[in-house]
Amino acid sequence: MVEVENGHPRQSRRPAGWAALLLALACSGAHAFPALQDEADYSQEEYAEFQSATQESNPAQRETRMANFLKSSSSNMLRSHVLNVYIQALADYRKQQNHQAVARGSEKFLQLGASFTAGLDADLQKAGKKFYQGKSYDIFLGLATEAYQKMGNQAKFVEFAQQLYAQMPNADTAYSVAKIYNDIGNAPKFVEWANKTLRHDPDNLPMLMELVRVYATQNNLPEASRYARQALKAVETPGKGSGEWDKQRALCYRVLGEEAFVRSQFQQAMAQFQNSLKYDKHNDHAYFRLGFCYWQLSQGEPAMAAFAKAYVLNGPTSKQARTQLEALYKPTHNNTLTGIERLYERAREELRSP
């Protein structure tokens, strides 16, 4: 069985610092509204409705009027300004910790969905969908997720997000639902929504790695290995930092090694565990399995060296590694443990080296 490290930070698909992006966009809403221009993409009547909607004094009615304006307007200029005001209002609610208002306002924007461009001609529909599905979508989805979590009502968010996904399937919504199911420990539903995420975004590393961990914890090595191979392929895509995903690479190779090991493919398993150690040289599990691979291949000295490292790392396999090491060491040292400390010291020195 593969033991998966607890406490490993889970990466969000959302860009880091999305809340800061929210506040930056909110600040941009404080800019002066555009004056009515001869060459603008809006009419005088539309401009008047824009002013009326954004200056509505009742917060709830202002949200509704702005949402309706976003739905009905064909002016990207005015919609952008309305969106800034809308985001600023939610940012204010967020600062006030009015989570219910944040959730309500975020849902209102997200529920525009497929009807966002209803009634517009083909070119405007295309432009409207691009506008709707831009970075604002991710911000509102993040706000809704956070608000429901703050209110302790994740079930409500999942219900809403699943309806939203049925209306407009996309990776961001699927990811948010999968993340909630993973957080509450519902593995079957997590797997379902993780795979929906991957249909839209096959190289989504956070989701791939969570699938590796879930299946590895279940000791379902074929499935864990399938996602590990996919993750290793994805991690080589441009934009992935050289060291940013090393722990993930190490886990993927260790899972592949474990799969080969249980099939008694010890040469192949040894290569995978060695690959794992290239990215995480302090992984006692990999050394422990590597020791068994060397032993099965009748390589006693490397086996003892690997068990020694697993032991001195003082991890979950430490006790078993010492037992295996002593069982190999005694027959070649007059049935004693004399000198075994030198093996331990050499293991410590090698682990300390860069």
Helix axes of 154-167 and 99-110: crossing angle, nearest 10 degrees: 10
Residues 21 and 148 in one domain: yes
User: Do 47 and 107 belong to one domain?
Assistant: yes
| Shared domain check, 295 and 248 | no
**Residue 330 DSSP class:** G
DSSP secondary-structure letter at 40?
S
Backbone dihedral region for residue 343 (phi beyond 0: left; psi -120 to 50: alpha; all else: beta): alpha
> Is residue 120 located within the same domain as residue 234?
no
Q: Which residues contact 213 (CB under 8 A, 6 or more apart)?
A: 4, 8, 251
DSSP string, 8-40: PPPPPSSPTTHHHHHHHHHHHTTSPPPPP-TTS
Q: Of 280, 315, 334, which residue is a domain's last?
A: 280
Kindly state whether residues 116 and 207 are assigned to the same domain. no
Instruction: Give the DSSP H/E element, type plus range, for residue 348.
Output: helix 340-352
Low-confidence ranges of the chain (pLDDT < 50): 1, 3-33, 36, 38, 114, 116-121, 124-125, 127-128, 131
pLDDT at 134: 57
The whole-number pLDDT of residue 39 equals: 59
Boundary residue ending a domain (280, 296, 324): 280
Give the global pTM. Answer: 0.73
The answer to whether residues 311 and 268 belong to one domain is no
Predicted local distance difference test score (pLDDT) of residue 74: 76
Are 133 and 56 within one domain? yes
Count of domains for the chain: 3
- Whether residues 220 and 288 share a domain: the answer is no
CA angle 10/13/17 to nearest 5° reads 90
254 inside domain? yes
Residue 165 falls inside a structural domain = no
User: Which pLDDT belongs to residue 84?
Assistant: 81
Q: Are residues 230 and 346 in the same domain?
A: no
Range of the domain at 95: 10-34+41-152
**Quick one: 107 and 80 in the same domain?**
yes
The CATH number linked to 315 is: 1.25.40
Confidence (pLDDT) at 142 = 80
